[in-house]
Amino acid sequence: MFARAFAGGVAAIAVMCFGHPRAVHAGPITPGNLVIFRAGSGTNALSSTTGNDVILDERTPSGTLVQSIAITATGAGTKLITAGGATAEGALAISPDGRWITFGGYNATIPQASSLPGSSSATIPRSVGILDTTTGNVTLTTTGTFYNAQAVRTAYSSDGNKFWTAGSGFGISYGTVSGGTSVLVNGTGAGTNMRVLGQYGNDLYISTSSGSLSPTIGLLGGNPLAGGVPTSNNQLPSIPLQGGTPTKSRYGFVFLDTNPSVPGLDTMYTVDDSATSGGLWKYTLDLTGTWNAAGSITGTTGQLRGLTGAVNGGNAQLFMTGSGNTLWTFTDSSAATSTLNGTLSAFTSLSTAAANTAYRGVVLVPVPEPSSSLMLVAAVAGGCAAWRRRRT
């Protein structure tokens, strides 16, 4: 069955207003399939100045395209486009139940005349998109005037209403679609160059890439999933901090339960896009609560940023995006005891993005536990009926 998983005090808290939410309609996502953030429709060259369309591609685990959901970039109301040349943007995050997929962008039309990441957030607010996988509907909202001259690289929603965002500066923003408020939290010494958010178990994690003492993959303290506001970014025992050798540039990560002898989520994979040690890294949790390095698959062409995966029969099936603008897969056999090694040739290519497009984040929609499968079937059936009514 598929499994999902700041040092210093609060330096600043602010409250801002959101734009009005807007909905996009598509078809439901099939559990067990992948969703990929695709930058660009293929019509125009990828550009962080003019901007590009955002398309969410649903693909089977073998790479076959099922549907493409075009996110609104025109008309009245909130829009969401991406800076097509910004490889750090476009992360996807999925709730543990597989219902909500969240991502960030810019509330603007195409073309723009100057850098989107450097734009004024008062003129171009940063957008958040939340996809309901059971219906295919996408809700768009904004983060008010936060992230001025900065990018929203990652967004996460646990329930389709509450959401968190983080990016190249300004820490973490929290808000609700219904409430229209956002709280911005900057942690002293925490590192503000943040990359990917993700919930595993009852905890919220984030990857960062700056600050010599900031965690590469950190656990956000203060119980943010209950109260909204993270108060610390805590190192996981023995997971490397920034700095040192080799250079670390971590992006996506996934926690899985592979070892029946260790309670809970006991295996963590993360991807890296650094020039010398880019690729896939593995850590395993022991009974003392310490994470231990369990090998890597790296190379000078292994710049990876998106990562998702699941456990199947004791093996970890992983899916990655980044290097070569490709969707890759890799099976870590007997994941509870194995050590990663070898070269990038161990990865299998499933799909390569077309010209003038790029793959960014990727998530796997989990197959529900048997106790919840009937509820999901009912929800999907209702969503399909509503979708047919909208399309006829």
pLDDT of residue 302: 83
Please report, in tens digits, the pLDDT of each residue of the chain (392 residues total).
Answer: 333 333 333 333 344 444 556 566 679 999 999 999 999 999 999 999 999 999 999 999 999 999 999 998 888 899 999 999 999 999 999 999 999 999 999 999 999 999 999 999 999 999 999 999 999 999 999 998 889 999 999 999 999 999 999 988 777 888 899 876 666 665 434 456 889 999 999 999 999 886 656 788 999 988 899 877 788 888 898 888 876 677 788 999 999 999 999 999 999 999 999 887 789 999 999 999 999 999 999 987 889 999 999 999 999 999 999 978 999 999 999 999 999 998 899 999 999 999 999 999 999 999 987 644 433 344 434 433 333 333 32
pTM: 0.88
Q: Where are the domains of the chain?
A: 10-391
pLDDT of residue 22: 56
pLDDT of residue 391: 33
State the CB neighbour count (10 A cutoff) for residue 315: 16
β partners of residue 271? 280
| Topology of the domain comprising 10-391 | Neuraminidase (2.120.10)
pLDDT of residue 124: 97
Scan for tokens 């476009």, then name that residue.
90
Structural contact between residues 133 and 100, judged by C-beta atoms closer than 8 angstroms:
yes
Structural contact between residues 117 and 150, judged by C-beta atoms closer than 8 angstroms:
yes
Give the distance from CA 84 to its chain's centroid. 17
What letter does residue 243 receive in the DSSP assignment? S
